[in-house]
Structures are given as structure tokens and as C-alpha cells.
């Protein structure tokens, strides 16, 4: 059996950030990924293709869609990036309630296709469960994570403004992109009408300028191509493939093993700690074991829950570390269901030209300092305005050709749009569990997913529609249209929980250092560790937690405490 100082399960952004920290500290690290390798620059087959080079004009044909009925619901799963998503027919699961489990099984994980919004959490988020009386209290606060946010932002590169908002702390930012004139108009309208509502440019993991740390990574400026889901040849946005993994490899301390399905974490009954992992080769189905002093589990939320639930022993018959019985429970997600659109008839002397990597952003303002509604928690929202050029495709034959060749004209008015990102409440009734008999092709039990919306979510959706209708009216927008779509949980791609952090081992799985209460040499730092989900995009927080926990483990190993 091969032995390492550290084994990390999952080569997405959380696992890869942990790998970077361990390798920088000189520790021999095994990074396991169940999917294929994706090497920066070598394995982005569509990154420089032109629109006319795609056989299906960007869409997916039925022959492809029939094997990916769930993945193809994702905005990024189109002809140019479908190869970064799993084939649903090869990876079945059981939907006790409808759930779109969107997955990218490869080195880099979903960091290749993510939306790149990187907002910090604040104490309003970490104190939320204690204040509102749902879930359990987070064992950490913003001050515990602030220096690790700094570290991650500096390394990956985050563009944004110093906005001075206590609900959305400032960070170590590169210069921001600008709002356009109508987004600025909306910002001025809202901030003059409301004292507690703000419109900012959404902070995003893109290089708007290049620092020495990014040159060392071999990256250069974001070109604002907005083709990020293909993989970026410039390294203009952050993914694990262009930054964390090559950095760790250059230390000589990283062993990267793709095609490795981790079946379970092995537990030493006499030592009272984990001894390593049991792995199934994804291609040959060969079984093998690897040993380590420390195991980090970063397989993405549901897979991390599956792995711990499947890691059974005499000491832990219900899953590794599951003395509390909460493993797999209290899973939550983000609610994107409500949208609003409208028309702006002003600023017609301007139009939009070029692209920018993300939109304007409205941080949460509901139930922030006090409970003011009949629902718990709140929502953030995106906002965008555009006035694209439009052509004329009327007619047929020579007339059509002449119309198509004529100069385009700006649309008659600006279009405006916003979408909520609401916080759902962790509940015991939202859970994942393992099937007793059905298994996948690698012998892993199929997972049951039982996750749904509730009345709190519906009330929040209506409040978003009411509040944003009012704000759109104050900004002078016309033809305001609201909608509640039918996307099911999972389609937000932000499922979290099941292995939650907490102060009490009786009601949580992990302590404030992301260690299993009952197995302190096992750490969980991906979305599974989250006690609540807040309203911010979570990936930045996953990486900050990973960096913090890895450095705690490094120091503990130096003292022979792990």
C-alpha cells in the first residue's frame, strides 16, 4: 500500500486549494479525482472555435441530449462545453423528489464551467442560524475566515470595487469592470430611494489586471470573451486547472491520480482514526488502498455525503463520524426561481458594445438587521441592462440577403432584467441517503435525493417580485414582467450541507476547523460542510475554508497532533 502525508478526495476548487497548501508546506499529497485529467491549454478543444465551426450552431443534437437529460438543463452545457459534464446514463441516482444533479467529473471539476461570482460572507451570514433559530450555530465567524478570504482572492484574482458594505465585506480586489449607463441609472434610483439597498458590480474571479502572483501562474488578462465554460487559454478567469494544480505540481509534492472512484475511507479501530482510502479504478474496476495521516474530503456536496455514508465500520455502522445521526441531512440550496424584466426608454443616445464577465449585483437587504417579513432569511439578486444591435431578417431571396447585409441598428429600447438568489433553510426533511441494494457500475450504492422547496421559499419568491417591481417602477422602467419558473432544486448547482459544521457533536458533524468531531484526522471543506447557505455564491467560501483547514492540519501535523 502506498502511503502519503495527505490524501485529498476531489480535484475541484476546494480539493485543489487544499492540495496547493499542503504541497507548499512540503507534504507528500495524493489528489484523487474520479474523472479524467484535464490539462490547462491542452484539453480545451473548443476554446478558440468560431460560431460557424460548431456543427449544431451551439445547440446539442438529440443523440447527445438523450444521454444527458439532466446536465443539458444547465446554461453552460451546450455544444461548446458539454464534454465537461457527465453522461447521466453512466451515473444514475434516485430522485425521491425532482432534483437536477449537475456534475463535472474531471480534474478541475466544475471550476472549469462555474459562473465565477465571488462574494464574501459576512457576520450576518455566519450569525444567521443563531439569530433566526434555524439550523445550528456556526462555530466560526467572519473574523475567523477574513484572512483566508484575503489569501484566496490574492491568489486567484478577483475583480471588484471597495463598496464599503457591512453585509458584503470588501476584499483584496483587482480593478472592477464598470456598470453601463442604465445600470448606473438603476443604482442611483435605488440608492436615492432606499437607505438599505445597493447596486454594485458583481465581484468576479477574472484578471482585470495582472499581478506578479498571476504571472507566476502563467496567466494573463481576461479578454472579456465570455466563453469561460470552454476553458480559457489566457487563464483570464480562475479555474483549478490553470492555477492550483500546476502550482502544486511544480513543488514535486503532488501525486495526481485521475480515474479514481473513492469507495470508502478506511478506519483503524485501534488507533481511533482514519488510515486512508479504498479506491476503485474507474476504467479497470481494480480495487486498491492508499494510506495517509490526514484525509481531506472535497468530492462536492452529494458525493462527499455518499462517501461518508458508505464508510462504515463496527465503530461507525451508519457512516464515518456519524455519532450525531445528522449525516446526509439538512441539505440546502439556492432558490433562483423568481425573475423580473422590463424596458427602459431613456439613454437612447447610448448602446452596448463589447462584453463583461458578469453583471451588476444587489446584496441581500431583507431580514438583515431584524426580522421584518413573514419568511426567514433573504435573497440577493443579479441585475443587467443591455441594448444590443439588431438586424433585419425579413423577406426571402434577394430581399432577405439585402436585409441581412444592411447595417444593424440598436434596439428601440433597453432591456432590463433581474433574478433572485434566495437562501433556503436547512431542514431535516431535505436529505440524501444510500440505497440498500442498487449500485452503480463501480459497486457504489445509488444515492436517494429527497430535497424540495417549502412555504418559506414561496413567500420569499413573492417578496422578491413585489420589491423588485417597486424598484423597477421607481427607476422608471416600463412593461414590467414577473415570472416564477419551474426549475427544480439542484439546477442552481449550489447544494450544500449534510456534513455540517457546528459547536455540538450531538447536532453536527464537523468542528470549527472542519474536522469530523469523532475522527479528527478527517476534514470536509467542500459544500457538504456548510451549516447554512446564505445568499452569496459559495465557491470563494469553500476555498477559504479549505485553505484555513489545510493550514490548521499542517500545524497540527508539525506538532504530531494528527
Q: Tell me the C-alpha to C-alpha distance, in Å, between residue 82 and each of 86, 299, 504.
A: 8, 20, 42
Q: How far apart are CA 13 and CA 31, in angstroms?
A: 12
**pLDDT score at 402:** 86
Q: How far apart are CA 66 and CA 44, in angstroms?
A: 24
Torsion of CA 522, 525, 528, 530, to 10 degrees: 120
Q: How far apart are CA 500 and CA 502, in angstroms?
A: 7
Q: What residues are paired with 274 via a beta bridge?
A: 267
8 Å CB contact between 32 and 106: no
8 Å CB contact between 152 and 146: no
DSSP alpha helix (H) spans, 168-208: 181-193
Dump the DSSP string for 257-310.
E-SEEEEEEEEETTTTEEEEEEEEETTT--EEEEEEEEEEE-S-HHHHHHHHHH
* Cell numbers that stand for 85 in this block: 459534464
Which residues have C-beta within 8 Å of that of residue 466, sequence separation ≥ 6? none
In whole numbers, what is the pLDDT of the chain averaged over residues? 96
**pLDDT score at 532:** 97
Q: How far apart are CA 185 and CA 193, in angstroms?
A: 12
With the C-alpha atoms ordered 544, 546, 548, 554, is the resulting torsion angle positive or negative?
Answer: negative
**pLDDT score at 221:** 97
**pLDDT score at 227:** 96
Q: Report the share of the chain in percent with pLDDT over 90.
A: 93
Opening angle at CA 104, ends 219 and 289, nearest 5: 100
Q: Using alpha carbons, select from 456, 449, 509 the residue that is nearest to residue 321.
A: 509
Q: Measured in Å, how far apart are the chain's first and last C-alpha atoms?
A: 20
Q: What residues are paired with 466 via a beta bridge?
A: none
**pLDDT score at 390:** 85
Where does residue 436 rank: exposed (0-12), middle (13-18), buried (19+ CB within 10 A)? exposed
Which residues have C-beta within 8 Å of that of residue 25, sequence separation ≥ 6? 554
The CATH superfamily of 1-159+235-333+427-452+493-562 is: FAD/NAD(P)-binding domain (3.50.50.60)
**pLDDT score at 298:** 98
> How far is C-alpha 244 from the geometric centre of its chain's CA atoms?
16
Q: How far apart are CA 545 and CA 529, in angstroms?
A: 9
**pLDDT score at 399:** 87
8 Å CB contact between 146 and 169: yes
Residue 353: Cβ within 10 Å count: 9
8 Å CB contact between 225 and 193: no
pLDDT digits (tens, 9 = 90+) for 271-324: 999 999 999 999 999 999 999 999 999 999 999 999 999 999 999 999 999 999
Axis-axis angle for helices 455-474, 181-193 (nearest 10) = 100
Q: List the chain residues with pLDDT less than 50.
A: none
Domain ranges across the chain = 1-159+235-333+427-452+493-562, 168-202+334-423+453-488
Amino acid at each position: 500500500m502506498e502511503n502519503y502525508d495527505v490524501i485529498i478526495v476531489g480535484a475541484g476548487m476546494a480539493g485543489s486549494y487544499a492540495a496547493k497548501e499542503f504541497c507548499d508546506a512540503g507534504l507528500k499529497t495524493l489528489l484523487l479525482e474520479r474523472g479524467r485529467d484535464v490539462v490547462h491549454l491542452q484539453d480545451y478543444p473548443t476554446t478558440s472555435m468560431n460560431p460557424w465551426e460548431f456543427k449544431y450552431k451551439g445547440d446539442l443534437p438529440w443523440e447527445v441530449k438523450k444521454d444527458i437529460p439532466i446536465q443539458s438543463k444547465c446554461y453552460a452545457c451546450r455544444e461548446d462545453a458539454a464534454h465537461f459534464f457527465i453522461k447521466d446514463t453512466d451515473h444514475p441516482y434516485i430522485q425521491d423528489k425532482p432534483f437536477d444533479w449537475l456534475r463535472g467529473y474531471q480534474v478541475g471539476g466544475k471550476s472549469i464551467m462555474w459562473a465565477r461570482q465571488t462574494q464574501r460572507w459576512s457576520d450576518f451570514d455566519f450569525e444567521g442560524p443563531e439569530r433566526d433559530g434555524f439550523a445550528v450555530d456556526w462555530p466560526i465567524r467572519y473574523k475567523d475566515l477574513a484572512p483566508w478570504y484575503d489569501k484566496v482572492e490574492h491568489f486567484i484574482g478577483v475583480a471588484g470595487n471597495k463598496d464599503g458594505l457591512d453585509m458584503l465585506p470588501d476584499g483584496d480586489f483587482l480593478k472592477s469592470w464598470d456598470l453601463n449607463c442604465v445600470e448606473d441609472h438603476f443604482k442611483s434610483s435605488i440608492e436615492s430611494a432606499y437607505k438599505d439597498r445597493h447596486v454594485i458590480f458583481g465581484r468576479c474571479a477574472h484578471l482585470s489586471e495582472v499581478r506578479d502572483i498571476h504571472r507566476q501562474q502563467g496567466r494573463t488578462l481576461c479578454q472579456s470573451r465570455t466563453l469561460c465554460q470552454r476553458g480559457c487559454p489566457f487563464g483570464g478567469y480562475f479555474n483549478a486547472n490553470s492555477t492550483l494544480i500546476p502550482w502544486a505540481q511544480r513543488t514535486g509534492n503532488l501525486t495526481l491520480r485521475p480515474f479514481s472512484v473513492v469507495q470508502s475511507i478506511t478506519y483503524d479501530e485501534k488507533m481511533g482514526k482514519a488510515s486512508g482510502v479504498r479506491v476503485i479504478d474507474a476504467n479497470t474496476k481494480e480495487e486498491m488502498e492508499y494510506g495517509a495521516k490526514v484525509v481531506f474530503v472535497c468530492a462536492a456536496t452529494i458525493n462527499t455525503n455518499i462517501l461518508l455514508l458508505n464508510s462504515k465500520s463496527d465503530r461507525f455502522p451508519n457512516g464515518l463520524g456519524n455519532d450525531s445521526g445528522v449525516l446526509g441531512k439538512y441539505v440546502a440550496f439556492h432558490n433562483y426561481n423568481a425573475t423580473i424584466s422590463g424596458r427602459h426608454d431613456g439613454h437612447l443616445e447610448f448602446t452596448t458594445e463589447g462584453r463583461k464577465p458578469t453583471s451588476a449585483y444587489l446584496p441581500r437587504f431583507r431580514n438583515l438587521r431584524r426580522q421584518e417579513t413573514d419568511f426567514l432569511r433573504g435573497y440577493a439578486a443579479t441585475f443587467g441592462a443591455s441594448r444590443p444591435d439588431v438586424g433585419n431578417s425579413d423577406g426571402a431571396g434577394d430581399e432577405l440577403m439585402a436585409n441581412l447585409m444592411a447595417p444593424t441598428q440598436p434596439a428601440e429600447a433597453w432591456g432590463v432584467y433581474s433574478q433572485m438568489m434566495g437562501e433556503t433553510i436547512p431542514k431535516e426533511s431535505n436529505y440524501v441517503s444510500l440505497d440498500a441494494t442498487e449500485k452503480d457500475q463501480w459497486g457504489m450504492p445509488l444515492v436517494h435525493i429527497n430535497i424540495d422547496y417549502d412555504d418559506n421559499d414561496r413567500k420569499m419568491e413573492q417578496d422578491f417580485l413585489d420589491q423588485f417591481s417597486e424598484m423597477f417602477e421607481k427607476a422608471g422602467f416600463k412593461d414590467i414582467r414577473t415570472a416564477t419558473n419551474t426549475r427544480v432544486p439542484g439546477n442552481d448547482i449550489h447544494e450544500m450541507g449534510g456534513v455540517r459544521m457546528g459547536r455540538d457533536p450531538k447536532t453536527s458533524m464537523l468542528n470549527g476547523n472542519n474536522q469530523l468531531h469523532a475522527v479528527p484526522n478527517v476534514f470536509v471543506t467542500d459544500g457538504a460542510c456548510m451549516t447554512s447557505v446564505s445568499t452569496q455564491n459559495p465557491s470563494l467560501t469553500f476555498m477559504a475554508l479549505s485553505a484555513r483547514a489545510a493550514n490548521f492540519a499542517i500545524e497540527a501535523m508539525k506538532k504530531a497532533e494528527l
